[in-house]
């Protein structure tokens, strides 16, 4: 099966521009014969600590879904990606939607928002498995690829894992030599995570990504974040071998490869802990303070507008 992972240089918050760029890249993937086309996380908006991104969240039947359906019909392919989706209950979720030539095949809501993302949306609790004919696809978005609970729900059940990331760099603050060394590890981890996940699940992984610079206020600190997206648009086989890879330094484009769908015996056992891989010192610290801060901000800025509060908002602590 020929698959394509898109790499997008998003304009943060500019939905029209980002949809146009996704359509351009999706058309290119379709012309190269891709039967499965995967767009990155937040393909409509990019990601940053900017609460106004919630204001451009799209409805489930909005322009983002229309684009996925149009590409699927035009190229007789499966097309999926995640975006900020405002549901009928008033909450915003990070929804991975998979379209087929016949309509919407299924949806997965990312389970736990990462760091400043908690200010933008609430989490979901579905299993992420989407069946299309005889094919079962397992959706996993960004840091879901880093958690044992994701591997456990997809292991032996998914024929192909599909998803994307909006992974950002560690800022070059003082002490610069120390943080630069940590950033090298963070950058390597961002590239390695999708292929490593294939080893835990025993299925090919098609992972879309972002590229380019981003900046925003730093949550809860008198500082401004200046950094970049990192990782790669990557395709790996069920054993974790990388078949195609476009690094963030290469900018927008696509990675195309042929994979053999179907589960195999996983190369790695799932460890008895919350994380599949070590996150690194700075990401662990950011996770510890930004998750609860973001949930409180979401509750304060957004929760009063809807009836009831998502279960994730009720939790003050997440591992």
Q: What is the pLDDT along the chain (319 residues), one digit of tens a residue?
A: 999 999 999 999 999 999 999 999 999 999 999 999 999 999 999 999 998 898 999 999 999 999 999 999 999 999 999 999 999 999 999 999 999 999 999 999 999 999 999 999 999 999 999 999 999 999 999 999 999 999 999 999 999 999 999 999 999 898 999 999 999 999 999 999 999 999 999 999 999 999 999 999 999 999 999 999 999 999 999 999 999 999 999 999 999 999 999 999 999 999 999 999 999 999 999 999 999 999 999 988 876 555 444 444 444 444 4
Question: What pLDDT, on a 0 to 100 scale, did the predictor assign at position 301?
Answer: 83
Question: What pLDDT, on a 0 to 100 scale, did the predictor assign at position 54?
Answer: 86
Question: What pLDDT, on a 0 to 100 scale, did the predictor assign at position 305?
Answer: 57
CATH number of 2-314: 3.60.110.10
Q: 58: which DSSP letter?
A: B
SS3 289: helix
**In whole angstroms, what is the distance from residue 258 CA to residue 205 CA?**
11
Give the H/E segment covering residue 184: helix 176-201
Residue ranges per structural domain of the chain: 2-314
**In whole angstroms, what is the distance from residue 211 CA to residue 5 CA?**
13
- In our burial notation (b when 16+ CB lie closer than 10 A, e otherwise), range 16-50 reads eebbebbeebbebbbeeebbbbbbbbbbbbbbbbb
Q: Is 3 in contact with 206 (CB distance < 8 Å)?
A: yes
* Structure-derived torsion over alpha carbons of residues 74, 60, 141, 295, reported in degrees to the nearest 10: 160
Question: What pLDDT, on a 0 to 100 scale, did the predictor assign at position 227?
Answer: 95
Task: Tell me the whole-structure pTM to 2 decimals.
Answer: 0.94
Closest CA to 45 of 121, 123, 156, 152: 121
Question: What pLDDT, on a 0 to 100 scale, did the predictor assign at position 309?
Answer: 44
Q: How many residues does the chain have?
A: 319
**Please, where are the H alpha helices in 56-111?**
63-75
Question: What pLDDT, on a 0 to 100 scale, did the predictor assign at position 304?
Answer: 56
Tokens of 100: 């087929």
């Amino acid at each position: 099966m020929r698959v394509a992972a898109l790499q997008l240089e998003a304009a943060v918050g500019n939905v029209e521009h980002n949809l146009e760029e996704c359509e351009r890249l999706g058309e290119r993937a379709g012309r190269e014969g891709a039967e499965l086309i995967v767009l990155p996380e937040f393909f409509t908006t990019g990601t940053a600590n900017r609460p106004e991104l919630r204001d451009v969240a799209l409805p489930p039947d909005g322009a983002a879904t229309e684009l996925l359906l149009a590409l699927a019909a035009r190229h007789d392919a499966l097309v999926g990606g995640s975006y900020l989706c405002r549901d009928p209950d008033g909450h915003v979720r990070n929804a991975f939607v998979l379209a087929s030539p016949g309509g919407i095949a299924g949806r997965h809501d990312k389970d736990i928002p990462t760091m400043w993302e908690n200010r933008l949306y609430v989490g979901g609790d579905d299993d992420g498995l989407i069946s299309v004919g005889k094919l079962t696809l397992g959706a996993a978005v960004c840091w879901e690829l880093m958690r044992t609970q994701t591997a456990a729900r997809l292991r032996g059940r998914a024929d192909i894992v599909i998803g994307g990331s909006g992974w950002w760099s560690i800022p070059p603050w003082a002490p610069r030599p120390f943080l630069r060394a940590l950033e090298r590890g963070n950058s390597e981890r961002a590239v390695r995570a999708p292929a490593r996940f294939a080893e835990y699940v025993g299925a090919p992984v098609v992972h879309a990504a972002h590229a380019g610079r981003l900046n925003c206020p730093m949550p809860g600190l008198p500082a401004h974040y200046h950094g970049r997206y990192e990782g790669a648009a990557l395709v790996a086989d069920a054993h974790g071998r990388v078949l195609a890879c476009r690094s963030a330094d290469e900018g927008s484009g696509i990675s195309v490869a042929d994979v053999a769908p179907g589960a195999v015996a996983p190369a790695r056992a799932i460890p008895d802990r919350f994380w599949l891989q070590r996150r690194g010192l700075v990401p662990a610290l950011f996770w510890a303070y930004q998750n609860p801060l973001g949930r409180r901000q979401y509750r304060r800025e957004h929760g009063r507008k809807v009836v009831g509060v998502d279960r994730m908002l009720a939790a003050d602590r997440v591992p």
